[in-house]
Amino acid sequence: MQKKAFEHLISVVFVAVFLVAIYLLFLKKEDVNKPKMQISTKLFEKQIIDFGDNYEKALLFDILNIYTPDSIELNSSIISNIEDLQTEKFTDFNLKSGNDNNGLSFGVIKKILKMYFWFLVIYLIAIILIHSFAKTFAIWKFVKVKQGTRSYFDEFVTNLKDYVNNILPKAVRKHKLNIAVKLFFKGFIKTISYFIIFSPSYVVAYSIKGSSISDSLIFLILLAVFTNGLLINYSYRFYSLLKAESKKGYVNTAIVKGLNNNYKNPLFGYKKIIKFNKKFPGHVFNHIYLNAVYQNILNIKELSALLITGIVIIEMALNIQGYLCYEMLQNILYKNYDVVIFIVLLIFITVKTTEFFVDVKYYRLTQKYENS
Amino acid sequence: MKTANLLLYKIDKQRDLKWFLFYLVGIQFLLLWNELFLNKPAFALLKEAFLNSFIIGALVLVFAFFLSWGTVNLRLYLTNKFNGILLTIIDFIIDTIKSIPQIISVLLGYIFITLIITKETVKNETTIILLISVLLSIVIFPELYETMINRIKYFKKSDFYNSMLVCGINEYRIMNYDILYKNSVGFIIHKLVSLFGVALFLQCSIDFIISVGLSNDVSLSNFPATLGNLLAKMDSKQDILAIGKTISNPLYIIKLPFEHLQGLSTAFIIVFTLLCVFKISDGIIKRIGK
Amino acid sequence: MELSFNIEIKNDDRKIVKIEDYTITKNKITFLFGESGIGKSLISKSLFGLVDPEDLNVKINGIKYQEYLLNNPLSQEISNGFFVFQEPSTHLNPLIKLSDQLNEGDLLDSESYIEDLLALWKGNSAEEIKKILNIYPRPYRPSGGEKQRVLCLMAIKKMSILQKNQESENSFFVFDEPTGSLDNYYRNLFLAILFQKYTEINFTCTFITHDYSIISFINKNYKNLINKIEFKELYTFEDNLRIKKFTPEIYINWVKSIGVRLENVKQISNEKVLFFNSSFSIFNNTFKICKDANYLYEQNLVINSGDIVYLKAPSGEGKTTICKIIMGLIKAEKFLFSLGNLTFNENTSGSIYKEQVWGKKAVMVFQHADEALNQKSKVKDIFKGLKGYKPDAVKPMLLNLFDEKDITDSFLNKKVSVLSGGQKQKLNILRGLFLNTSLVILDEPVNGMDFESIKKVIDLIEKKRRQGAGILLISHNEEIFDNFVPEEKKYYLKK
């Protein structure tokens, strides 16, 4: 266990050192201004001609050449220097927006830490929600498969065939048609929900943008949980664990011991599955569930990284002021790479802390099951 | 009729094939619809974006496969040398790449690509596509690497590995031919398919995010057209906003498929591809499981 | 009364089991033998209702499986009965304590079952046994044999509960290789309890096993029950399965015939192939090798060219471990041995085994052919990658254990996974022997084979011996090999 904690720590230190090194070597905001020649700056400040007009620029170039005919190259570099100054005047973000955000300062750090707090709130709530929804969804799917229910499409086709079949009495055919129509709507809703679950968050968000809820915290959390395909991927992972465990030998022993093996019974009604603390006493499923949950603990590590990817995408793509990741994007634009690296490190520490806690929990459980 | 029935029955049994065909049909239908109702320049842009995104996805898979496979063999090579220090270093690096949320690594990588474009004026589209593919494959390959390593561990636990070892069979042959090739191809293909979905998702997301621009010298116009880029264009965003309109004004849904095609088609391709990739990989794993 | 079943089990396209007349004799104990992998467990599981219809396509008496289970003629017997499965390690839940697993479902009984417990764990006090059972089952603790006893205990507890509730007449018990990990002592103990319960409640029982020596044991000690016991064998006949009765005498005479070979045992040469120091330690346990069954005379293990040495030890006590030490697969804390002119101890570097030993001086044939062979490779490719492999060397090698008429082109192109257990084990042995090394270690070579195949393997071992190889043999089929190996070549291992 200590070895694992040590590894996590080394990881954080290593990434921090690496990023800071990259920053110092490549990204430090140098004086973007190339060493401008004094004469160019003087000419530019004096605004002797309209430097946006190409004709007047060419005229200046000719005049310089007449006065100093031996230094044509020098003159042309004076002109290009002036052109650079001209471009900067119009495109420097800092000058444009009046923003004097020039890197990491105490005030900036405080601001970022406040945003980090809300980031953590979203992250923690989302991870708890995904974890429990995924288990519920996976159990529901497992029970449905065991009950032998067929897909909506198959049932729809069967009922439609029965409706068209002239041999059956009219009342039965009408009944089949009703079922078919109901199934059609159910299938339609299922398709829409599939589309929502699989779309990247920005697609869903933009579909409902403009309404009052689109900037709220709750909406962000809902997006983080239900879109990007995260919930369904994680549920499927748990579901495949359930399936794999249900094929193992101890399930047969449980069946033969006379434990309940019937999945149609009220133990698997909606209310029982949705409960937070799930228990299935006296049923074979209890054995399967225990093992699946134990093995699922390590999956939370991957979930954490994926969830953060989702949250980052949501915050950046929706351009919501005041949130951590949007701030990061803005600082990339302002070329304040030190702020960017600070935020990246904060996010990385979040992932690593989650991984650490997961490792601790898994270690404790393993110790218990190893009889030590 | 009979052969058609038999064919349908066989396809129905193989879920992955079923969903793949469904996907092809869906895309064809969409292209046809667009041919009829979308203006020509937008349609051409859509086709180019679609092609570019898929080429990037395919390249990512190729690079990721060779990266993982190469690392696995490198690991074997380094097993008994230098007291295993180099081995620990490799494991450490891969763990770290996995821990950093993918979008952040991609974002940092895009910053670098942007800087390269600025400083060295690399404007060749093919080079940029290659750079993006390499970046995405570095971010994604740890998952494939883990799949391969888990298969090897599984066989090492049983007598499989040892029994071949003591017969004098070369370790590289056991690992590459017997374990990975003969016994793990299904798993590798399944992982590659789901990684295609991940690559597409990351690519679209990062393109959408940087639609604001990562620097004043480099904007979206320097990057090749991809689905994410297309979605981020002003007119596409308007199209998606139009979906919101139908919630308050349900009759609008009739107009929707005819008037807001650019954004809708892009969004549809992205979501539909992700959905089908998921179902196909699910079908593959069911097939391996048998 | 005899019940007959027509059973067909398919896996999508491939037929796995087909038997027209599988018989169960009510109120008798049937010992069912047959080659490993032939379908004994699968047939019993399907009758017990334990096969998953999603995985396999089952038809019993022409009726589809789900329908058959709704009107199962044996449903009463099954709910009163129990099924003891083959691999104890996967059939116990690793996350629930053993004592809890022994006390749930039908086995939930507030009254103690101490006598049954003490009977199976003879020699331990009740407190000690409770301690053994108050843990979560891990791979090495409790041992394989103890786990198997736990499963048997579940069945016995069920029997006791039935006795108490006086519902005993109709019950069906299936034991699938329950004594595979048990030593003869515990095996005999279990059989004694089983027969005792049988005289009390007269159940129907199918006892699946490979251990032919049970026949001798019953013949000697339970002659009074002989008309309540049946011996049957499941065998393949033209792609289908058939079941036949056989008498104990057939086996007993066969075993006697092996002893005749002793006359031909002569030492071939004095060249030392293996020398293993009598004492070694690994995993904080010390082992010693002795000359006698009472572990009084310690002696170094020596194998000369042309020798066959039989290493015996109680189950789970380190036989496979010592083989792995010789092959360099695990590192022991303190050991010393030499192969030919090379010496090895705890300071030897790992690479020497790769360079000098594997496939060159020594080879080991592992126990489970399912794990040791690449299930996806074809029969003709099984020798690929071995030194000296040539495509035309395949058939002559196969002729050592297979009949010429069986080695058809379709057989050579079959994937290993579709072969029977006995065929896989034969290929496993052949692969090891292909290399003509001076030392051959055989770990349970005849596990799961029928008489004919065992004879062939013994012939092959003899042939290799004459060619000069030294053979280290591990097997729990003591009755067979005790007659085959001379007394002075037997060693005993003790922890």
Counting residues of chain A whose pLDDT is more than 70, the rounded percentage is 90
CB contact under 8 A, C435 and B173: no
The answer to whether residue A120 scores a pLDDT higher than 70 is: yes
Q: Give the highest mean pLDDT range of A169-173, B94-98, C281-285.
A: B94-98
Looking at residue C426, its pLDDT comes to 92
How many angstroms separate the CA of residue A132 from the nearest CA in chain C?
A: 21
Q: What is the DSSP letter of B95?
A: H
Most C CBs within 10 Å, among A257, A262, A295, to test the C interface: A257
Looking at residue A254, its pLDDT comes to 94
Structural contact between residues B274 and B197, judged by C-beta atoms closer than 8 angstroms: yes
CB contact under 8 A, B169 and C431: no
State which residue of chain B sits closest to A10, comparing Cα positions. Answer: B92
Of C474, C373, C378, the residue nearest C421 (C-alpha): C373
Tell me the C-alpha distance between C477 and C216, whole Å.
Answer: 12
Q: Give the highest mean pLDDT range of A35-44, A69-78, C108-117.
A: A69-78
CB contact under 8 A, B275 and A195: yes
Q: In B, which residues are within 8 Å of A206 by CB distance?
A: 237, 240-241, 243-244
Which residue among C82, C93, C136 sits closest to A371, beta carbon to beta carbon?
C136
Tell me the C-alpha distance between A355 and A363, whole Å.
Answer: 12
C188 and C275 in a single domain? The answer is: no
Average pLDDT over all residues of chain A: 83
C282 and C410 in a single domain? The answer is: yes
Compute the radius of gyration of chain B from its Cα atoms. Answer: 23
How many angstroms separate the CA of residue B176 from the nearest CA in chain C?
A: 13
C279 and C223 in a single domain? The answer is: no
Give the tokens for residue C159: 């029997």
Query: Does C435 reach chain B within 8 Å, measured CB to CB?
Result: yes
State which residue of chain A sits closest to C55, comparing Cα positions. Answer: A247
Number of domains in chain C: 2
Q: In A, which residues are within 8 Å of B95 by CB distance?
A: 7, 11
Query: Chunked in runs of 10, what are the mean pLDDT values of chain C (495 residues)?
Result: 90 85 91 87 92 88 90 88 90 92 83 74 81 86 86 90 75 90 85 90 90 86 88 86 85 74 56 85 86 86 87 82 89 87 85 86 89 90 88 89 87 88 90 90 86 86 87 86 83 86
Counting residues of chain B whose pLDDT is more than 90, the rounded percentage is 32
CB contact under 8 A, A290 and C93: yes
| Sequence-ordered alpha helix ranges (H) in B15-167 | 15-37, 40-77, 85-99, 102-120, 125-157, 159-165
Longest Cα–Cα distance of chain C, Å, equals 69
Which residue among A250, A259, A368 sits closest to C105, beta carbon to beta carbon?
A259
Average pLDDT over all residues of chain C: 86
How many angstroms separate the CA of residue C386 from the nearest CA in chain B?
A: 6
C294 and C194 in a single domain? The answer is: no
Tell me the C-alpha distance between B135 and B128, whole Å.
Answer: 10
C181 and C295 in a single domain? The answer is: no
Position C311 in a domain: yes
The SS3 call for residue C277 is coil
How many angstroms separate the CA of residue A203 from the nearest CA in chain B?
A: 7
CB contact under 8 A, B101 and A312: yes
Of C207, C241, C205, the residue nearest C38 (C-alpha): C241
Looking at residue C236, its pLDDT comes to 84
Structural contact between residues C475 and C313, judged by C-beta atoms closer than 8 angstroms: no
Position C435 in a domain: yes
| Domain end position, chosen among C217, C246, C275 | C246
Q: In the predicted model, what is the mean pLDDT of residues A113-118?
A: 91
Give the tokens for residue C147: 């786990």
C173 and C47 in a single domain? The answer is: yes
Number of H helices, E strands in chain C: 18, 21
The whole domain housing C22 covers 2-246
pLDDT: which is higher, A183 or B290 = A183
The answer to whether residue A36 scores a pLDDT higher than 60 is: no
Report the 10 Å Cβ neighbour count for A271. 7
Looking at residue A12, its pLDDT comes to 87
Q: What are phi and psi of A65, to 5 degrees?
A: -65, -35
Looking at residue B216, its pLDDT comes to 52
How many angstroms separate the CA of residue C408 from the nearest CA in chain A?
A: 36
C293 and C234 in a single domain? The answer is: no
Position C252 in a domain: no
Query: Does C350 reach chain B within 8 Å, measured CB to CB?
Result: yes
Looking at residue B207, its pLDDT comes to 85
CB contact under 8 A, A15 and B108: no
Q: What are phi and psi of C385, to 5 degrees?
A: 95, -15
Residues 6+ apart with CB under 8 A from C195: C29, C222, C225
Q: What are phi and psi of C333, to 5 degrees?
A: -75, -40
The answer to whether residue A34 scores a pLDDT higher than 60 is: no
The architecture of the domain spanning A106-149+202-369 is: Orthogonal Bundle (1.10)
Compute the radius of gyration of chain C from its Cα atoms. Answer: 24
CB contact under 8 A, C350 and B182: no
Q: What are phi and psi of A322, to 5 degrees?
A: 90, 0
Looking at residue A212, its pLDDT comes to 57
Banded model confidence at residue B220, pLDDT cuts 50, 70, 90: low
Looking at residue C469, its pLDDT comes to 87
C460 and C357 in a single domain? The answer is: yes
The answer to whether residue A299 scores a pLDDT higher than 60 is: yes
Q: What are phi and psi of C240, to 5 degrees?
A: -110, 175
pLDDT: which is higher, B7 or B140 = B140
Alpha carbons within 13 angstroms on the beta-carbon side of residue C489 total 23
Residues in chain C: 495
Q: In the predicted model, what is the mean pLDDT of residues A183-191?
A: 88
- Is the N-terminal amide bond of C142 cis, ω within 30° of 0? yes
Looking at residue A27, its pLDDT comes to 65
Which residue among A206, A208, A332 sits closest to B111, beta carbon to beta carbon?
A332
C288 and C187 in a single domain? The answer is: no
State which residue of chain C sits closest to A247, comparing Cα positions. Answer: C52
pLDDT in tens, B44-91: 888 888 999 999 999 999 999 999 999 999 999 888 777 778 888 899
Give the tokens for residue B42: 């937008």
Domain ranges of chain B: 18-289
State which residue of chain B sits closest to A93, comparing Cα positions. Answer: B216
Q: Which strand (E) or helix (H) includes residue A44?
A: helix A38-46
State which residue of chain C sits closest to B290, comparing Cα positions. Answer: C55
Position C35 in a domain: yes
Which residue among B162, B174, B182 sits closest to C366, beta carbon to beta carbon?
B162
Q: In C, which residues are within 8 Å of A372 by CB distance?
A: none
State which residue of chain A sits closest to B12, comparing Cα positions. Answer: A154
pLDDT in tens, A313-324: 888 877 777 788
Amino acid identity, position B228: G
Domain spanning B18-289, CATH class: mainly alpha
Most B CBs within 10 Å, among A198, A242, A337, A357, to test the B interface: A198
Average pLDDT over all residues of chain B: 84
ipTM over 0.90: no
Domain ranges of chain A: 38-97, 106-149+202-369
Query: Does B168 reach chain C within 8 Å, measured CB to CB?
Result: yes
Question: Which chains touch C (3+ CB pairs under 8 A)?
Answer: A, B
pLDDT in tens, B125-184: 888 899 999 999 999 999 999 999 999 999 998 889 999 988 888 899 999 998 899 889
CB contact under 8 A, A195 and B271: yes
pLDDT in tens, C215-238: 888 888 888 888 889 999 988 887
CB contact under 8 A, A257 and C107: yes
pTM of the model: 0.86
Q: In C, which residues are within 8 Å of A291 by CB distance?
A: 93-95
Tell me the C-alpha distance between C17 and C35, whole Å.
Answer: 13
Structural contact between residues C494 and C313, judged by C-beta atoms closer than 8 angstroms: yes
State which residue of chain A sits closest to B272, comparing Cα positions. Answer: A195
CATH code, C465 = 3.40.50.300
Q: What are phi and psi of A346, to 5 degrees?
A: -60, -45
Of A280, A258, A365, A330, the residue nearest A108 (C-alpha): A330
